[in-house]
Structure 1
Amino acid sequence: MPDSTLPDAVAAHVRWRSTDGREGARLDTTGLDLAGADLVGLDLADAVLVGANLRGADLRGTDLFGAALHGADLQDADLSGAQLGKADLSGARARGVRLHRARLVRTDLDGADLTGADLSRAYLVKTDLSGADLSSADLSEADLHLVFVAGSTWDSTSARDSRGTLAGPDVPVTLVLSGAPTQVTVAELIARLAEGGARLEVHPERSAVPETTPWRWPADPDHPAVTVQ
């Protein structure tokens, strides 16, 4: 999709969503090059961006609820304040991605490369980080509620004043200490993160899901989702 047609395609996507598919067309940029694109505040909910090159793209405040971003290249992209509820970012290449104050509710980040990602003040609820690489990622002041981290990697990860719960006390994760990868449990990971100021707890297996506490840092009001007419 050439850049010149993107506004028309987004407008058609908005019509497709608002008419339950009777008009317009679902946005599909699968495999296309949108590196550095300005997509600030657009309504891209349910869009198909599988494998798309979004490296360095500006997606601040963009609505990507339910979007398919499997395998997308999001390196150094800015998704501050973005809505990513139920979005599929599994296998995404997202080194250095900015997810500051992003909303990640039931978001699939299974196997994503989040090395150096900024997740500060983000809101994660039942987010799947299984197998994700969180090396040098910043989770400072993030709110986490029943986040799944089995098989994830934590190396120099900052989680100062993060609050909430990680699933399963005995779930295995990889913690890198002095350059040596070591398999530990979630309970042991939480104890290590607490040394850096994290305030996380283990969510016991087979226990009821508690009510989530209010998000301390709602999405940036300066970059709300925008509907394209």
Structure 2
Amino acid sequence: MSIRVIVADDQAISRQGLRMILESEPGIEVVGEAVDGLDALGQVERRRPDVVLMDVRMPRMDGLEATRLLRGVEGVEVIVVTTFDLDEYVFEALRAGAVGFLVKDSPPERIIDAVRSVARGDALISPEVTRRLLDQFASSAPSRAGDPALAELTPRERDVLLAIAGGRSNAEIATHLQLEESTVKSHVRRMLAKLDLTSRVHAVIYAYETGLVAPGSAPGERAGERE
């Protein structure tokens, strides 16, 4: 089945460019375009996409609010599209429910890979960008240190959380922990449910907020492990 995508951007040239890139790829279908956040909400209700590419700065309703309102819509994932890879709004968009972000001038193959990655449930943010992004905003994030929910995780689920915080995909986690990929997916589902999180990106943020991963640490490195 094709991956159904909606493109939300107030600039027609940006929408058309993304549509051309995505529709050049077999198995991806752009089922709608939205000119702002309100339009995006209506398009999602009518078209039921798998992925929404959401610009941040739009009239009437911006991408942050639209992403927040789409957070509870089952089966719909939001990728925020920004001008700069450390846009000041990116962290808030991720907290609002986006599963990752793209820079507007990303090469076509990166945009296609991002849509496919999100559709199959993998992380979108690379280890390098994860570290830079969260290091910048971790100081302003509310602390969840000592969250008792962490104690509910099995050692393997905790390992999976750390691997996700390091930006690893399910396939990479499977190799790293010597597990089947299907087993990793099961661990991810259980870990997210126990921590009341809705996506892998939220798991990364949670790892920083609880101090499980320290700002400035290497990808996947526990807090306190640096020299």
Taking structure 2 as the reference length, what is the TM-score of the superposition? Answer: 0.31
Q: Of the two structures, which has the highest relative contact order with CA contacts closer than 8 Å and spacing of 6 or more?
A: 2
User: Could you tell me the TM-score, scaled by structure 1's length?
Assistant: 0.31
Greater share of helix: 2
